[in-house]
């Protein structure tokens, strides 16, 4: 029997009634002749609630203990879904990440999967059971519990699909696929039927919430087709796979508000010193702009806040180490347009800067790559700039 891996996000398992609906969908898949592996996120806002609880105890929780705490959320979901399936007469069993054979490096709170040994999963599938796996987590080669960073349940699902040679990897969320912009910001945003791995990874890393960037990277490396669908109704969704670049250069526009920007004076702080400081604290950057001609200028590093669990402590440490030579700003965010070949000339950048000027949005920095154009602006301009650039580049 072919294997299907299905992943359900937190909103899809937010309460008991929704868990029962997921169980019915899984049962229907099983009845169509598939072996089913289900990856679940924590219920609703459980992860945020656990994180808030940790910060009541410590402003900068130890990463190891944070992993021990946060992995509880997915374990709740997996056990409840297993119970719901068994109530419907479907044999099922739940496994944690470590029981599933998901081996990671030892980078607590943002671990990367290095190997999958799905022997227990294969054994239970052979016994006719549905296997439910706690997403977002694994075990390091040091036998420590680890988490894969926010959105890491997507990565769990793709990694298992690759290891099990699954027929498909289905990622279920509130929306039916990937849109050209957030429909809450741009009501006329279009659903994209297909996206290349590279396009999807750029959108995900720039703030699009439907899929996790590391999961897309893993899928590309393993050749796994991801089907992003809604958990609440029938729909065609979006297929993320290896496809030729689309005719339309700009495929989507997205914004990222949950971030901070480190700005350093080049003449006062050497870039390797600043990067070493960030690495020592596990602080990752999404984009870096460096102007160091003639020993003058500034360095800008965009830092997503989803994995910075001690922001106030980071601010304190930056001040203690670098003084006024390095500033950390939270009032800015990024708006990013993604598309193959969009930086073949300067026309898109010129148009983007013109739109920003029309809106009165000051552009603090620009980052470009073959697939991406990013503007760093004040947060109050993120939504209007996203909507205007979508209309400018996609005509809606």
The reply, when asked if residue 47 is annotated as ligand binding, is yes
The reply, when asked if residue 327 is annotated as ligand binding, is no
pLDDT of 381 > 90? The answer is: yes
How high is the pLDDT of residue 296? 61
β partners of residue 161: none
Strand-pair category, 259-265 with 298-304: antiparallel
Contact 163, 102 (CB under 8 A): no
Average pLDDT over residues 16-40: 97
How high is the pLDDT of residue 245? 59
- Measure CA 63 to chain center: 19
How high is the pLDDT of residue 322? 92
The reply, when asked if residue 383 is annotated as ligand binding, is no
The reply, when asked if residue 222 is annotated as ligand binding, is no
The reply, when asked if residue 9 is annotated as ligand binding, is yes
Q: Edge-to-edge strand order for the sheet containing 287-290?
A: 287-290, 298-304, 259-265, 326-329
The reply, when asked if residue 10 is annotated as ligand binding, is yes
How high is the pLDDT of residue 97? 96
The reply, when asked if residue 7 is annotated as ligand binding, is yes
The reply, when asked if residue 18 is annotated as ligand binding, is no
How high is the pLDDT of residue 281? 84
Q: Select from 323, 352, 344, 347 the least CA-distant residue to 253.
A: 352
How high is the pLDDT of residue 247? 61
- For the chain, percent of residues with pLDDT exceeding 70: 95
Question: Whole-angstrom Cα distance, residue 391 to residue 382?
Answer: 14
Average pLDDT over residues 230-253: 80
The reply, when asked if residue 191 is annotated as ligand binding, is no
Beta strand spans in 177-323 (E): 178-179, 191-192, 194-196, 226-230, 238-241, 252-256, 259-265, 287-290, 298-304
- For the chain, percent of residues with pLDDT exceeding 90: 68
* Helix ranges, the chain (H): 16-31, 46-57, 63-70, 72-87, 119-126, 152-163, 197-205, 213-222, 271-280, 311-322, 347-359, 382-394
């Amino acid at each position: 029997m072919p294997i299907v891996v299905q992943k359900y996000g937190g909103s899809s398992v937010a309460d008991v009634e929704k868990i029962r609906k997921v169980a019915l969908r899984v049962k229907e898949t099983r009845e169509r002749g598939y072996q089913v592996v289900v990856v679940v996120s924590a219920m609703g806002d459980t992860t945020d609630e656990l994180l808030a609880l940790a910060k009541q105890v410590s402003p900068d929780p130890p990463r190891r203990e944070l992993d021990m705490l946060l992995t509880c959320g997915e374990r709740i979901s997996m056990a409840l879904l297993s119970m719901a399936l068994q109530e419907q007469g479907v044999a099922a069993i739940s496994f944690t990440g470590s029981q599933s054979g998901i081996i990671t490096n030892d980078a607590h709170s943002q671990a990367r999967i290095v190997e999958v040994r799905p022997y227990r999963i294969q054994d239970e599938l052979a016994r006719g059971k549905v296997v439910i796996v706690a997403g977002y987590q694994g075990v390091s080669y040091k036998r420590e519990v680890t988490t894969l960073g926010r959105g890491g349940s997507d990565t769990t699902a793709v990694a298992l699909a690759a290891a099990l040679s699954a027929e498909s990897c289905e990622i279920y969320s509130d929306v039916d696929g990937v849109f050209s912009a957030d429909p809450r910001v741009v009501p006329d945003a279009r659903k994209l039927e297909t996206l290349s791995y590279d396009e999807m990874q750029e959108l995900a890393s720039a703030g699009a919430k439907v899929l996790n960037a590391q999961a897309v990277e893993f899928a590309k490396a393993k050749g796994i087709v991801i089907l992003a669908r809604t958990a609440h109704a029938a729909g065609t969704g979006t297929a993320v796979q290896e496809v030729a670049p689309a005719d339309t250069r700009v495929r989507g526009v997205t914004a990222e508000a949950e971030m901070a920007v480190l700005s350093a004076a080049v003449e006062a702080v050497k870039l390797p010193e600043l990067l070493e400081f960030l690495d020592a604290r596990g602080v990752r950057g999404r984009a870096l702009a460096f102007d160091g001609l003639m020993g003058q200028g500034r360095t800008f590093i965009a830092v997503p806040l989803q994995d910075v669990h001690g922001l106030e402590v980071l601010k304190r440490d930056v001040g203690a180490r670098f003084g006024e030579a390095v500033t950390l700003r939270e009032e800015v965010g990024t708006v990013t347009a993604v598309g193959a070949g969009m930086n073949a000339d300067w026309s898109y950048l010129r148009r983007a800067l013109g739109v920003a000027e029309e809106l009165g949005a000051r552009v603090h920095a620009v980052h470009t790559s073959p697939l991406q154009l990013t503007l760093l602006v004040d947060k109050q301009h993120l939504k209007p700039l996203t909507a205007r650039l979508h209309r400018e580049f996609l005509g809606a």
